[in-house]
Structure 1
Amino acid sequence: MKLLAVASEIHPLLKTGGLADVVGALPLALARLGIETQTLIPGYPAVMAAIGKGVKRHRYASLFGETATVIGATVAGLNLLVLDCPAFFIRAGGPYDDPAGNGWADNWRRFAALSQVGADIAAGSLKGWRPDVVHAHDWQGAMTLAYMRFGPAHAVGKVMTIHNLAFQGRFDAGIFPFLGLPAEAWGMDGVEYYGGTGFLKAGIVSADAITTVSPTYAREICTPEDGMGLDGLLVGRGDRLHGILNGIDIESWNPSSDPLIARPFGRRTLSGRKASRRIIEQRFGLEQDESPLFIVISRLTWQKGMDMLAASLDQLVQQGARLAVLGSGDHALEGAFLAGAEKHRGRVAVHIGYDEPLSHVMQAGGNAILIPSRFEPCGLTQLYGLRYGCVPVVARVGGLADTVIDANVAALGAGVATGIQFHPPAIAPLQAAIARAVQLHADRPAWTGMQRAGMVADFSWQRSAALYAALYASLVP
């Protein structure tokens, strides 16, 4: 089977979040099942540098008014189709935002262009290769399915994955005439969305199958509380909606062979974690002692519950614990954590930004990872934590609820507990969960049992890839 994936980022070339990890790991797992994947991505500066010259597969004299070329290349075992369009993708700033952090005004045009190219490939624009199924990721790739539905590739299988329903690609109605879609595409059953243009909505109504990244999140987004205006549509298409849990790259995230951590370790050699903990203490300027060390590796945003954690720093320190934070996001929340670090020197420390090697060390040396998200489609950092014996303390939402087994009396007695859950996502339950974690950390047999139970859990891509493969097969005549 031949599969075309359309996405706006891919690890290891460009990453702003978990989307890139999924887009980079799933094709490798599918290859072991006999599925050949080509992934269409924008030609950002980092991507163009990574692929070198590549092979020119198709040229556009005018793609939304700009010249563009589709370049084929293979990087890190991934078969890539790169949309080389300098006017859209070679610019300072991030993939979606300008240097000041504002969304690019022409994002609708940039990702409509990417989607049009995806639909063209589905229709046979590349000599010698045509997909059996097209898999679009998030709003940036969603319009691929709309262009297919209203174009010559309408019969090709179409899969839409929602990684985070909060990001919908909503634009003014005035852009519709420039999208190149027929008039019939404007309407409730097309791209129109509350009087504007909705890219993700267009993908959802055009898809033959819709997936999201955990079973619990699939249920949550069908409710008014978490559906973010799309719950009615998703309920109506419920027979096509599937929750497939994300996996992780168990080779890159393997504590027994990870070259980025201070000392390799396994579930029988947990003492090896101490060397990485000492590095965390040194890098963050934390006091060196045996008190529980909580870590955070996250975007500092409201969705991630970081305002609740910032409001709980005094309580965390009063419990005798320490905290190391790695992340960036809302300036107000960055300031709140920096102020907390200043107030609690040696007990709370913050590194604003992202550092992949440091994130490995933190998972390898931290005692517990805090993830107090208000909603979390899947989450990957708790899976890395489980793999590395860094006990997750999580809100019971989305994929966090699906992957962490709460340390209640029954689970502890059966030896299956892997972390601590709390609900609802609010300050008081979060503080109670932190207190539970501190108490459990003092019970060495119980804590070690949770670490070891988490480390044997299988969150590889093997099972999830098989579910995707079966879904693709159901769409091929």
Structure 2
Amino acid sequence: MSPTPVIAKPTTTPTRATSGVRSPEELAVVHLVAEYWPYARTGGLAEAARGIATFQAAQGTPVTVFMPLYRSVREACPDLEPITDIFRVRVGRRVEEVSILQHAGPRRNPRVLFVDHPGFFDRGGIYGEDGEDYGDNPLRFALFNLAALEILPELANVPVVVHAHDWHAALAPVYLRTRFAGREVHDRMAAVLSVHNAGYQGLQRPEVLAEIGLPREVFHWRRMEFYGHLNLLKGGLVFADYATTVSPTHAHELRTTAGGFGLHGSFIEMGDRFLGILNGVDLDVWDPAVDPQIEATFSRSDLGGKAACKRALQREYSLPEYPREPLYGMTARLVTQKGLDLLLDGGLLERAEGQFIFLGAGEARYEEALRDIAERHPERIAVDTEFSEPKEHRLLAGADLLLMPSLYEPCGLTQMRAQRYGAIPVARRVGGLADTIEDQMTGFLFDGYTAEDLEVALGRAVAAYAGSREAWAEHMIEAMSRDFGWASSAARYLDVYRRALAAHAPDA
């Protein structure tokens, strides 16, 4: 049975030009993403996708978001409404039955649609359980991409941009130019791929090619073959009209052998069709002047509430309420990427001056190591592996400093939120950290990925904190004054969309 249309047509009729479109209202954006806040989140992807989609919708662009209907979504949103009949999607030799459900949200928000297939998505995790990925992940996300593309309707005269995020959705550009090639409505669509974390590429055994229904000719080193494996992210780069990553510095890093995760050649080959656009944060949600989740509100014109937030945070984690002791917060997945080895190897964390609170879960070895140190130093170190967003608000509001000694950090959102709350980052000068932190002004940066370099940066931070209160307040005020909203980034995405669509205009 054919699905019914699911994207509303705009109320105005645009004037098409061969160069693309001239205003946000003259195109429609369809985001395909594996996680999207608040429905499902494991890291920054969910928040970044939600941020740009929400801002685009608020600016008047028709925006639709597709994501899988996980068990967690169904449990959190029991009022989901089906908007299509069950329809069949062929994935390789399999034929699966899916339907599309909707969660009604506030007007002017993106329309969020869920691809429902209980066998693939009604599970305990998003990508896996107990530290292991699901073995059929390529099939799961292939179905997700195919179902979304299959039901995309005609949008009158409005061009459609399919904006895929990370390897889970990277098959969308591939299918668009192979499986759906020759269908007029799909041929007119533009495909943009955002690479949020190139460390995860969806590498698969070659046999997966047939399982997900791709032609053999794409298994070539110039397309999707990668040292004998099938690389889904590489395929997205090859078939997308444009690709972006989440900060200008990281776009440069991905073009290097040291920072490109083996795909530097693919990024280089795209030339000016690959660029870095900095992520943003929701300035209404992350605002200490009106935040209902923190002990006391404060602003850059009145920092008084910051001290109350620090005391409340120290009480929450059973730390002594020392007002002049520097308090560091670290809220992150406890994985190698986040630089935990620098803190743990050689005993740096145990000898560093100050109090430390770690919020987040991850690899068992890091959780256990941090807990062991916290048990030996309960007056200085606390570990909380039960992450929640309210806890993160309280942590940033109460902390004096933020730790981000990342091995790599494509963009990072925490350092932006922290600066909004007057928590000064100590971070490695990589990716978006380099683009959003000004050394000695709004944070303390270091270059080498060594414990020695981190220790020097911590020493500079402690020295500044121990200095005059007026000088430290100037650091806080400067950090809190930085604009990390989505406005400038959204304008750059719109320009990318226009360029991508120009190649698919009927008279192009």
Structure 1 length-normalised TM: 0.93
| Counterpart for residue 339 of structure 2 | 305
* Aligned 8 A contact 2:247 2:411 in 1: yes
**1:397 corresponding residue in structure 2:** 430
Question: Equivalent residue of 1:362, what SS?
Answer: helix
SS of structure 2 residue aligned to 1:353? coil
Task: Pick from 86, 90, 95 the counterpart of residue 59 of structure 1.
Answer: 86
CA shift for structure 1 position 424:
1.0
Q: Does 1:436 align with 2:460?
A: yes
Gaps of 5+ in 1: 408-416
Structure 2: unaligned runs, 5 residues or longer: 1-26
User: Partner of 1:74 in structure 2?
Assistant: 104
CA distance in 2, matches of 1:298, 1:134: 30
Q: What SS does structure 2 have at the residue aligned with 1:471?
A: helix
Superposed, which structure 2 residues align to 1:273-284 within 5 Å?
Answer: 273-284=306-317
1:465 alignment counterpart: 490
Equivalents in 1 of 2:102, 2:330: separation in Å?
A: 38
Structure with higher RCO (Cα < 8 A, 6+ apart):
2
Residue of structure 1 in register with 2:22 after alignment: none
> 1:11-30 alignment to 2 at 5 Å?
11-30=37-56
Contact 1:253 1:384 in 2 (8 A): yes
Distance in structure 2 (CA, Å) of the matches to 1:446 and 1:57: 60
| Residues in 2 aligned to 1:469 and 1:59: alpha-carbon distance in whole angstroms | 34
Deviation at 1:287, TM superposition (A): 1.4
Structure 1 residue 121 displacement after superposition: 3.7
Pairs within 5 Å for 1:27-426: 27-49=53-75, 50=77, 52-57=79-84, 59-64=86-91, 65-75=95-105, 77-92=109-124, 94-98=125-129, 100-122=130-152, 124=153, 132-150=160-178, 151=180, 152=183, 153-289=186-322, 290-311=324-345, 315=348, 318-407=351-440, 417-426=441-450
Structure 1 residue 131: Cα displacement? 5.7
Greater shift after overlay, 38-47 or 214-223?
38-47
For 1:51 and 1:335, the matched residues in 2 are separated by: 37
Return the offset for 1:135. Answer: 0.3
What is the deviation of 1:181? 2.3
Pick closer, same or farther for the CA change 1:274–1:317 going to 2, 3 Å: farther
What is the distance in 2 between the residues matched to 1:369 and 1:129? 48
Displaced runs of 4 or more, over 6 A: 126-130
Report the TM-score when normalising by structure 2. Answer: 0.88
Indicate the SS of the match to 1:190. Answer: coil
Cα offset, 1:58, TM superposition? 5.2
Q: Which amino acid aligns with 1:376?
A: E
Alignment partners' CA distance in 1, 2:65 and 2:146: 14
Shift of 1:183: 3.2
Matches of 1:86 and 1:11 in 2, distance apart? 21
Query: What is the percent sequence identity of the aligned residues?
Result: 35
**Local SS of the residue matching 1:418:** coil
CA distance in 1, matches of 2:352, 2:167: 43
Task: Give the counterpart letter for 1:78 in structure 2.
Answer: P
Contact 2:87 2:97 in 1 (8 A): yes
Q: Which secondary structure state, in structure 1, belongs to the residue aligned with residue 86 of structure 2?
A: strand
1:450 and 2:475 correspond: yes
Counterpart CA distance in 2 for 1:251 and 1:284 is 27
Distance 1:212 1:456 in 2: 25
- How many residue pairs match? The answer is 463
Across the aligned residues of Structure 1 and Structure 2, the Cα RMSD in angstroms comes to 1.8
Shift of 1:377: 0.1
